[in-house]
Amino acid sequence: MGYSRAAAQLMLPLRSASRSLVSRSTHGAMSRPLLAVVNDSSISRGLLPHAHAVRHSSHSPMGATPTNPRKKVTLQTLRNLHKKGEPITMLTAHDFPSGHIAEAAGMEMILVGDSLAMVALGMEDTSEVVMEEMLLHCRSVARAAKSAFTIADLPMGSYEVSPEQGLQSAIRIIKEGRMQGIKLEGGEEMAPTIKRITQAGIPVVGHIGLTPQRQNALGGFRVQGKSTAGALKLLKDAMAVQEAGAFMMVLEAVPAEIAAIITKKLRVPTIGIGAGNGCSGQVLVQIDMTGNFPPGRFLPKFVKKYADVWGEAFRGIQQYREDVKSRAYPSEEYTYPIPQEELAEFKKIVDKPDQ
């Protein structure tokens, strides 16, 4: 009861101030924040955390406002990069941490790819992931990507039936997923769907060459455009996708020479993944290029491993386990102190024999 009375007394000045503030606001005179009318600084110190206060919770937000935020990347930004011949950087992300680090590293574009089916959800291939799962991951990445231009894959089964189905799915990605554009796989046959989506004001990135959602029809993950007929089909698809309104195109698993020629023939930028250095930009799956996978995992030929995230994380977790087993962790520096007189009083009470 003593605590309740003390709490009530502590809140009285705030309640009074709040009533005063509401009264002033009804007369259009609210010009100062609530703390301006609370004169007791001890109250404000006790109730409001300081920016530099030590955080005692085991859970803390990852997000932080960058000290030097960069300008927002827009469609015009990407067009300007393409016009100047400066390569466009794109990387996949599947959750807040991966989006956060891609954003911090300065990626111009972040793709929430359906590859998250494998790298985030443990599925066998991209065809398993459904729209609801994509939307959840999109929202997570969107919270982290404050400057990068974000796009997301339309998952298999969400756009192939008709242009109207494709538009409805694209709207969900933008509205519910908080993305800025969508990517869909397919060439000439997808032109009507691309046109319908772009007519609704939604930016579209095309995807030709190896289209993983159609791997069964392609006979697996095979390089596309290795024959004259195959290369001509790719060029025809690229032209159709461009004319349908796509502002950009991904070329996957295409011989470098063919990709370079297609890039020169197009007005819109191309993003290569296994398509050589002649594209307008590049994209990789973040898990692959950061090495966040166990030893022995197969990597496509085009993937360059830039880091060893798995190795570093494994060594850290292994050391943590050993420290816990040996009681080396937590040592005194990782514990919270208590005044010795308080500790002595506590021990005296708990050690007292029962009466």
Please enumerate in sequence order all residues whose Cβ is within 8 A of that of 246, keeping only pairs 6 or more positions apart, or say none.
194, 198, 204, 205, 206, 268
Is the pLDDT assigned to residue 220 strictly greater than 60? no
252 is catalytic: yes
pLDDT over 70 percentage in the chain? 78
Is the pLDDT assigned to residue 337 strictly greater than 80? yes
pLDDT of residue 92: 98
pLDDT over 90 percentage in the chain? 74
Phi-psi region of 176 (alpha: psi -120 to 50; beta: other; left: phi over 0): alpha
pLDDT of residue 301: 92
Tell which wins on pLDDT, 197 or 296: 197
| Closest by CA position to 274, among listed 295, 303, 240, 311 | 303
Amino acid at 173: I
**CATH 3.20.20.60 domain span(s) along the chain:** 75-307
pLDDT of residue 56: 59
pLDDT of residue 213: 82
| Closest by CA position to 300, among listed 290, 288, 310 | 288
In this prediction, residue 28 has a pLDDT band, given cuts at 50, 70 and 90, of: very low
Mind listing the pLDDT tens digit for each residue in 167-217? 999 999 999 999 999 999 999 999 999 999 999 999 999 999 999 886 655
In this prediction, residue 8 has a pLDDT band, given cuts at 50, 70 and 90, of: very low
CB 250 within 8 A of CB 206: yes
CA distance 295 to 243: 44
pLDDT of residue 354: 73
pLDDT of residue 17: 44
pLDDT of residue 18: 45
In this prediction, residue 58 has a pLDDT band, given cuts at 50, 70 and 90, of: low
pLDDT of residue 334: 97
Is the pLDDT assigned to residue 63 strictly greater than 50? yes
Residues in the chain: 355
Amino acid at 149: F
What's the mean pLDDT in 134-163? 98
Among residues 252, 312, 341, 342, which one is catalytic?
Answer: 252
In this prediction, residue 40 has a pLDDT band, given cuts at 50, 70 and 90, of: very low
What's the mean pLDDT in 91-113? 98
pLDDT of residue 121: 95
Mind listing the pLDDT tens digit for each residue in 243-284? 999 999 999 999 999 999 999 999 999 999 999 999 999 999
In this prediction, residue 353 has a pLDDT band, given cuts at 50, 70 and 90, of: confident
Which residue shows structure tokens 């991904």? Answer: 250
CA distances from 58 to 55, 61, 316 (A): 8, 10, 18
Of the listed ranges 45-49, 94-98, 131-135, the one predicted with least confidence: 45-49
The pTM score is 0.80
Classify domain 75-307 at the CATH topology level. Answer: TIM Barrel (3.20.20)
